[in-house]
Amino acid sequence: MEKKQSKALKGGEFLVRETEAKDIFIPGEFSEEQLMIAQTCQDFINRVVIPETDRIDSQEEGLLPSLLDQAGELGLLGVSVPEEYGGFGQDFITSMLSTEMIGASGTFAVAFATHTGIGTLPILYYGNNDQKKKYLPGLATGAIKGCYCLTEPNAGSDANAGRTKAVLSKDKKYYTLNGQKMWITNSGFADLFIVFAKIGDDKNLSAFIVEKGYKGIKLDAEEKKMGIKGSSTRQVFFNDCKVPAENLLGERDGGFKIAMYILNIGRIKLAAAALGAAKDIIGKSVSYANERVQFGQVISGFGAIKYKLAEQAVRAFACESALYRCSQNVDDAISSLINSGMDNEKATLEGIRQFATEAAIMKVFGSEILDYVVDEGVQIYGGMGYSAEMPMDRAYRDSRINRIFEGTNEINRLLVVDMLLRRALKGEIDIMGPAMAVGKELMSIPDLGDDSDELFYREKKYVRNLKKAILMVAGAAAQKFMQKLEHEQEIITNISDMIIQLYIAESNLLRVEKLVSIKGEDTCKIQLDMMKVFINDAVDRVNKAGKDAIYSFAEGDEQRIMLMGLKRFTKTTPFNIKEARRNIADKLIEENKYCF
């Protein structure tokens, strides 16, 4: 396995190469401008949005778009839009940070992310100069509000199976759209629809910019949903809707590519929003635990509650570590491509494409840690957590959609492995060489080595070994099933879970190592505990997923050797995880908020 090279990692290379802590970005390195934007977002949410939560959930007419208007006046809708079109022109990290801050606002966060992401970015990255000049300034200020029409009744995860049709007129001046879209967020008040349809008998979708004023658009009634009740979600029907030919977005037959590239951005942004929501819920959980008295003491003093508070924080901290590591990787890739002569929009898309695997990882992990945090939040509140009068009711219901949004977590787990293998087959990353090296290592005498008390020695060894475990299992599965591996979804999911745990664990380790190098070990004792707790648990999760995979396809001597290898690669040194969690919880309780 390749070690510590100065050359920047490509997307997916975390599996076969090591990263130095000095080369990653951590939240403590935000610039003054980034922190100012974050504070503006937070102040806006606390001052303007949160007080209106009940009115938003009741879908009061005009309220949600008016809040987007106010966000636009502050420039929050144009963080990613270039200055020439009325935006702030900020980098990817800043975009993630603003999304995280807005994430605590529930329904509003969904409307905000839809408008600034899938409602705006297709035009920013794929629009021609005329389309950008016409629509981006309005989108950046909120004068125009956007939505994204991809999903159909028979085309959810299989988006390219959509049946909406576009027919070019004989004079080639307009397209006539006919079809049905469903689950369209912001559709009730959107001025602009990014619509995907197939032209004639094309194999792939094309994309169109459709204005609300065009004839032939009909909206169904608002959907009644489990959560995010205040968001506008309707079916949209196109009945002989005439769209000017110049509103074709990108190239004909190129819409599916647009959809997938934009979803890559949406996935990592969803993780950012989920992180913001998780931090907010952790703060509420700690505050309630510090107030609720049972058996003569506040419940935050009980070990079982401390476990919950600590684990909430451990998972959020780990998510944050990976989120901003990946965001910096994307920014670096974009800068490198621009310096090589690629224009800004194409460089941004290519930079994000290179880290599509990491984006899928973040989507899965971010949505699932939020689900964990809100579930434990309900439990910490006890009976009051089940009351609709308390914040956990709304948070619990709102959270659930995130595992379905932007591609289900099942689809994203499959994509993690599929995209890694595709990049390997294209020669973009070398997986085969390291996998073969691990195979040889399995047949050799184990190198027990000398353990060390050096800071991070054990955790770095654990992370290196997790990579070997994944390469061993994934390599054997790929060799056994070859082209048929895609049909073994259970095994792919096992491997994906191993990869997800590795990426988050390594990101966590690198963040804390860099933090210690800046602030010193004594100042970072709680962060060290958080990192050790997560990595020790991650090793156990990798062991379980690895065994499930091995049991599913290996037999006899092959199975025995692989199980021995897995045991070797997931071995840890005893660690008092209870005391570490108590240290973490005590810090939260002392600060009475999420404080990391």
Boundary-marking domain end, from 118, 144, 170: 144
Q: Are residues 425 and 497 in the same domain?
A: yes
Residue 14 in any domain: the answer is no
Amino acid sitting at position 461:
K
Beta bridge partners, 345, equal: none
Active site residue 406: yes
Query: Which domain range does residue 273 map to?
Result: 256-411
Say which CATH number the domain at 509 has. 1.20.140.10
* The two three-digit tokens of residue 7, written as one number: 């050359």
Which single residue is written with the structure tokens 């009741």?
Answer: 58
Say which CATH number the domain at 58 has. 1.10.540.10
C-alpha separations of 548 from 70, 478, 502, 542 in Å = 51, 16, 17, 10
Residue 21 in any domain: the answer is no
Say which CATH number the domain at 220 has. 2.40.110.10
What confidence score (pLDDT) does residue 447 get? 65
**Contact by Cβ (8 Å): 107, 56:** yes
Boundary-marking domain end, from 88, 122, 144: 144
Boundary-marking domain end, from 144, 160, 188: 144
C-alpha separations of 246 from 191, 199, 200, 205, 326 in Å = 18, 15, 17, 17, 36
Q: Are residues 439 and 547 in the same domain?
A: yes
Q: Are residues 422 and 395 in the same domain?
A: no
CA distance 49 to 277: 14
Residue 25 in any domain: the answer is no
Q: Are residues 331 and 233 in the same domain?
A: no
Q: Which of 18, 311, 406, 459 is catalytic?
A: 406
Q: Are residues 425 and 348 in the same domain?
A: no
How many other C-beta atoms are found inside a 10 Å radius of the C-beta of residue 514?
A: 20
* The two three-digit tokens of residue 227, written as one number: 């959560």
Angle at 308 between CA 305 and CA 310, to 5 degrees: 105
pLDDT, tens only, 135-194: 999 999 999 999 999 999 988 778 888 899 999 999 999 999 999 999 999 999 999 999
* The two three-digit tokens of residue 389, written as one number: 């009068």
Q: What is the DSSP string of 119-152?
A: TTHHHHHH--HHHHHHHHHHHHHTSS-EEEE--B
Residue 10 in any domain: the answer is no
Q: Are residues 461 and 312 in the same domain?
A: no
The residue among 377, 373, 311, 279 whose CA lies nearest residue 580 is: 311
Q: Are residues 229 and 303 in the same domain?
A: no
* Tally of domains in the chain: 4
Q: Are residues 56 and 90 in the same domain?
A: yes
How many other C-beta atoms are found inside a 10 Å radius of the C-beta of residue 524?
A: 18
Q: Are residues 397 and 506 in the same domain?
A: no
* The two three-digit tokens of residue 19, written as one number: 């990263």
C-alpha separations of 159 from 178, 250, 320, 414, 595 in Å = 17, 18, 30, 16, 41
Residue 5 in any domain: the answer is no
Task: List, for the chain, all residue ranges whose pLDDT scores fall below the cut of 50.
Answer: 1-6
* The two three-digit tokens of residue 139, written as one number: 């989108």
Q: Burial, 281: exposed, middle or buried (Cβ in 10 Å; 0-12, 13-18, 19+)? A: buried
Q: Are residues 131 and 54 in the same domain?
A: yes
Close Cβ partners of 108 (under 8 Å, ≥ 6 residues apart): 45, 49, 56, 64, 67, 102, 230
The residue among 494, 581, 489, 461 whose CA lies nearest residue 531 is: 581
Q: Are residues 424 and 532 in the same domain?
A: yes
Angle at 281 between CA 265 and CA 46, to 5 degrees: 80
Q: Are residues 385 and 427 in the same domain?
A: no
Residue 6 in any domain: the answer is no
What confidence score (pLDDT) does residue 154 get? 87
Residue 17 in any domain: the answer is no
**DSSP secondary structure letter of residue 47:** I
CA distance 63 to 399: 22
The residue among 379, 395, 380, 309 whose CA lies nearest residue 591 is: 309
What confidence score (pLDDT) does residue 1 get? 45
What confidence score (pLDDT) does residue 442 get? 82
Name the pTM for this structure. Answer: 0.94
What confidence score (pLDDT) does residue 450 get? 60
What confidence score (pLDDT) does residue 2 get? 43
Q: Burial, 404: exposed, middle or buried (Cβ in 10 Å; 0-12, 13-18, 19+)? A: middle
Residue 567 in any domain: the answer is yes
